[in-house]
Amino acid sequence: MKLKLVYPKWRKLLGQTTFNLPPHGPVVFAAALPADVEVSFTDENVEALDFDEACDLVAISMMLSVQVKRGWAIADEYRRRGKQIIFGGISAMLHAEETVEHADALFLGEAEGRMEEVLRDWENGRLKKVYNYMVQQPDINHVGPARRDLYKRELYNHKGVQMVDLFHASRGCRFSCYPCAVSYLGGRRFRPRRMDKVIEELATIENNRLFVVDNSLAQDKEWEMELFREMIPFRKKWISHTIEDDPKVLDLAAQAGAWYVYQAVYDTSNYIRERVKRYHDYGIGVEGTILLGIDNQTEDDIKKLIDFLLEIDLDLAEFTVMTPYPHTKGYDDYLRQGRIFDFDWDNYNAGQVVFTPKNMSAERLQELYDYAWKTFYSDESQEQKMFQLFAKVAIREMNEGTYRPRNRSLINQSFGKEVKRK
């Protein structure tokens, strides 16, 4: 059979540097399909979808709330043409009650070891409306290398720079943060992949740069250190969410190729200041992630936080407004309190205020969000700061002999670095 796999497009935030990473969810799903299924993949963010392409079944994979309305429209068009639709992915799970209205089958949970049943039902004309596997996650050892062969590589670059590949070494998260739906989606149990499976997948990835998309690497220190030791021989450069604040861990992360990390900056404490400094001491860049509009923030708190960011030498900053995504504690509280005034999922992009904050108006929070971006990037644009991070890692790669030349002279001329030649 031939399966058409679609990743819907979404409207990008105005005023921010726009680039497209190769999506992870669809190619992880594709790896869980039986070997005899022929897969054709379209990421609508980088190429047009051809509804006339021949296929037997359509699967739509959605990660973000801002994708769901487009995903529903795609499904409606395919169904009008007589095709059956299976939905899956994070936002299909978060918006299940609405998504099922556009589906012949809605898949909830993780796909490994489950798709044989779904496709057998389809072949026998017994496709169920809902396949709910959220209660019990599959054995993590069933997770194999993602189907990265489905990517059209030439489409994933920004001004000639190849985008990172996405990779995960674990699932689940033992934390349950207020704005986050991960505990609903993947459970509160940390589920690391077996290290030989991690090594197997890393060996299949040709890209020299990775985004390790695990919810948090700081969940089990011994496992985290073993992961970094195993990554060292691959000589890749990578981005991740927060890692353990421990000298041994930071040293191993640096040896393993840590490029930069996402670090939540939630206050103006010396702890945060020192945390950023410790990353830099080990040659690891920092992109601060700053959430605006939570209930304990006043307007003055936000302004002080933005001033603080300019003092602590962040490499990048990403500002978001508190967004009450379904199946989060924030959504439950705000819905009960009658504070959500916008249920248009196209606006749930973490850059548009959709609820009434506690200590200011929605309009004022929107103004402060815009002020934060403009203030932090007033001297150097987001794109300039991103280029500096890229240049640093390119120079490291040149010194190590792992750089794949594309514009070596540009790096040298822009930064005046003497690069050791291998």
What residues have CB less than 8 Å from 50, skipping those under 6 apart? 42
- In 126-164, DSSP assigns E strands to 130-132, 157-158, 161-162
* CB 68, CB 98: distance < 8 Å: yes
- Checking if the pLDDT of 414 tops 60, the result is no
How many C-beta neighbours within 10 Å does residue 263 have? 22
Q: Note the pLDDT of residue 405.
A: 58
202: CB partners within 8 A, 6+ apart: 167, 230, 231, 234, 236
Q: What pLDDT, on a 0 to 100 scale, did the predictor assign at position 416?
A: 42
Comparing 407 with 365, the larger pLDDT belongs to 365
What is the tens place of the pLDDT at every residue in 157-216?
Answer: 877 778 899 999 999 888 878 888 888 888 788 999 999 999 999 999 999 999 999 988
- On the question of pLDDT at 420 being above 80, the answer is no
Q: What confidence tier does 380 reach under pLDDT thresholds 50, 70, 90? A: very high
The model's pLDDT over 7-43, given as tens digits with 9 standing for 90+, comes to 999 998 876 767 789 999 999 999 999 999 999 999 9
Where do we find the tokens 């609903």?
184
CA 205, CA 112: separation in Å to the nearest integer? Answer: 20
Is the pLDDT at 421 greater than 60, yes or no? no
Q: What mean pLDDT comes out for the span 320-343?
A: 97
For the stretch 142-154, pLDDT in tens is 999 999 999 999 9
| pLDDT cut 90: percent of the chain above it | 81
Choose the weakest-confidence range: 59-73, 82-96, 154-168: 154-168
Is the pLDDT at 412 greater than 50, yes or no?
A: no
Confirm if 403 and 162 have CB atoms less than 8 A apart: no
What are 347-367's pLDDT values in tens digits?
Answer: 999 999 999 999 999 999 999
Least confident of 94-108, 208-222, 398-412: 398-412
DSSP three-state, residue 122:
helix
What pLDDT is attached to residue 406? 53
Under 8 Å between Cβ of 100 and 72 = no
User: In Å, how far are 259, 290, 304, 318, 381 from 16, measured between CA atoms?
Assistant: 22, 15, 23, 10, 9
Report the amino acid identity of residue 363: E
Token pair 């959504």 is found at 331
The predicted structure's pLDDT at residue 175 = 84
pLDDT of residue 12: 84
The per-residue pLDDT for range 271-309, each reduced to its tens digit, is 999 999 999 999 999 999 999 999 999 999 999 999 999
pLDDT of residue 409: 45
Residue range 320-339: mean pLDDT, rounded: 96
- DSSP one-letter string for 268-307: --HHHHHHHHHHHHTT-EEEEEEEE--TT--HHHHHHHHH
What does pLDDT average to over the chain?
92
* 3-state DSSP assignment of residue 137: coil
Q: What is the pLDDT of residue 394?
A: 87
